[in-house]
Every structure is written in C-alpha cells, then in structure tokens.
Amino acid sequence: MQYTNPLRTKILLYSLIYQKLDNYRQYLSALRTVTLDVLLSKLLYKYNTIEEMESELYTTAKSTIEPDENIQIANAIIELIKPIYNQY
C-alpha cells in the first residue's frame, strides 16, 4: 500500500463498499475525512470471504476510468487484506 495513491485507493474502496463514484470530485471533502483504516474495516465486514471480496474488487476496478491503475491498487489491497481473512 506504500506505493499506492491514498485518494485513488479511497475512491476504489468507497466505490466497492457504498456506490460507484463516477464523479468523485463532488465527494472529495468526504473522502478526505474518512481514513483508509475505516474503509478497510468496512470492507472486511461487508464480504465474508476473500474470494467474494476479490471478485467484487476486480469488477469495480475494471469498471473505472483508469482500470489498469485501479487493478494495481486492487492487487495491493488484496495483499494487505488476505492475511486477515486467512486468520478466520
């Protein structure tokens, strides 16, 4: 996660958890107030399995304006989250 753009990561996670953000500029102030930790926690609660989360995350990433960059972010998120799912 160190090399990913935090705002772009938040946009992807928000789109996955709540709704797709087609025009994220109108949500910038809200996105700046929410932390990545909160979004990652909500992600864990929303999806019961890593497979379900991974599938939805890639689907969301592919449907964005810059899918290649968002797929890289999705890969980083999965790397980060997978050990947590494996504990349960």
- Tens of pLDDT along the chain (88 residues) come to 566 788 889 989 998 998 776 666 777 878 888 999 999 999 999 999 999 999 999 999 999 888 999 999 999 999 999 998 888 6
Count CA atoms within 13 Å of residue 71 on its CB side.
Answer: 7
- Chain centroid, CA 17 distance in Å: 8
pLDDT the model gives residue 27? 75
Interacting residues of 77 by C-beta distance below 8 A, sequence separation 6+: 1, 9, 12, 13, 40, 43, 57
- Whole-number Å distance between alpha carbons of 25 and 9: 14
Give the start-to-end residue ranges of the domains of the chain. Answer: 6-86
The whole-model pTM stands at 0.85
